[in-house]
Structure 1
Amino acid sequence: MMAASTWNLDKSHSGITFSVRHMMITNVRGSFNQFDAELTADPADLSSLETSLTIDVASIDTKDEGRDGHLKSPDFFNAEQFPQISFKKTSLSSKGGDDYSLTGDLTVAGVTKSVTLNAEISGPAKDPWGNTKLGVVGDGVISRSEFGLTWNAALETGGFLVGDAIKIHVELEFAQA
């Protein structure tokens, strides 16, 4: 049995993406390119896992500079006043195998809400260079309006320009320190 240890984020094998309904007909996808995560865990007893994630709002990338600028503005994230999004684990419960419910406090634009993600925790596994790796994948849906991100525009045909539900996908790979 391993003891709880520190794991360092392997940024080159990690990513944070999201999607939101656009004009009620398709999804706009984006990512945050700058983020950091901390993890302390005993892979033999994941109930002891502690993790937190910090995202640099200014690193948002939807492949459209104008849209990215609008998302950083006070209409949405207000990146100048609230430069980071953060998540801090509050509980982890097993659903069997590698599947878990990961609950934590998510702070966006100065508003903190408890959210639960479906999580998959894989590993530990040794890579070809002898490093021990652990993977955490999280998926969930949040309501942007619950975090005060309410800007929108009504469509002539009914409905709104930007959907309220934001689908989140987080893939993090860690190396044992």
Structure 2
Amino acid sequence: MKKLLLASSLAALMALPAQAADYVIDTEGAHAFIQFKISHLGYSWLYGRFNDFSGDFSYDSNNLAASKINVTIDTKSIDSNHTERDQHLRSADFLNVEKFPQSSFVSTKVVPTSGDNFELHGKFTLNGVTKDIVIAAEKIGEGQDPWGGYRAGFAGTAAFALKDFGINYDLGPASATVYLELSVEGIRK
């Protein structure tokens, strides 16, 4: 009788749908990045990143559409590898970090496209303005790490116009759009 109950219990557990797992973004180990590029007057690319951010996500490989992510960015941590430029980027001309010290992204839906690719729709807040954006994303991989944890990693890209977020400093038409590149590795909680 015990064997029948154990077998029934195991069969019932195996029949349950997979549940989404919750992850914290690994910023302590520097396994996540928020980088950007913008054209410098149409002559070259200016690259930078945000050094301080945090977030978490929920991911279910069997039901990608049920996944979600929340990220908060410390806008003061902008780093374009040039101190004077970073001070200007922190000013009211651009990020206005004294008034808006944080930026955020909160997903609203995930739309699977093909294979490990998907569209991540969400609300992006920057410079006190919130707009819908879509991140073209892909799953890079998931599995056990050498320290006994479980990780999942993703990459994504997005673009937006500065003026859409109330940033009207005129750098010319070639510099109107910012391109984001995101790399997110999470550790399962």
TM-score of the two chains, using structure 2 as the length reference: 0.86
1:165 aligns with 177
Q: Distance in 2 between matches of 1:70 and 1:82?
A: 15
Q: Distance in 1 between matches of 2:114 and 2:97?
A: 39
Q: Distance in 2 between matches of 1:114 and 1:54?
A: 16
Cα shift at 1:6? 1.5
Cα shift at 1:152? 1.9
Looking at secondary structure, tell me which structure has more helix per residue. Answer: 2
**Structure-to-structure mapping, 1:132-171, within 5 angstroms:** 132-153=150-171, 160=172, 163-171=175-183
Q: Distance in 1 between matches of 2:123 and 2:62?
A: 25
Q: Distance in 2 between matches of 1:30 and 1:147?
A: 18
Query: Paired residues, what number?
Result: 171
Cα shift at 1:162? 6.7
Structure with higher Rg: it is 2
**1:9 is aligned with what amino acid?**
I
Q: Which moved more, 1:28-37 or 1:42-51?
A: 42-51
Cα shift at 1:161? 8.2
1:72 aligns with 90
Name which of 88, 99, 110 aligns with 1:81. Answer: 99
Q: Which runs of 5+ in 2 are unaligned?
A: 1-16
1:23 aligns with 2:41: yes
Q: Deviations over 1:15-39 (max 9, x none)?
A: 1100001121111000000001111
TM-score of the two chains, using structure 1 as the length reference: 0.91
2:21 aligns with 5
- CA RMSD, Structure 1 to Structure 2 (Å): 1.5
1:157 aligns with none
Q: Distance in 1 between matches of 2:148 and 2:141?
A: 14
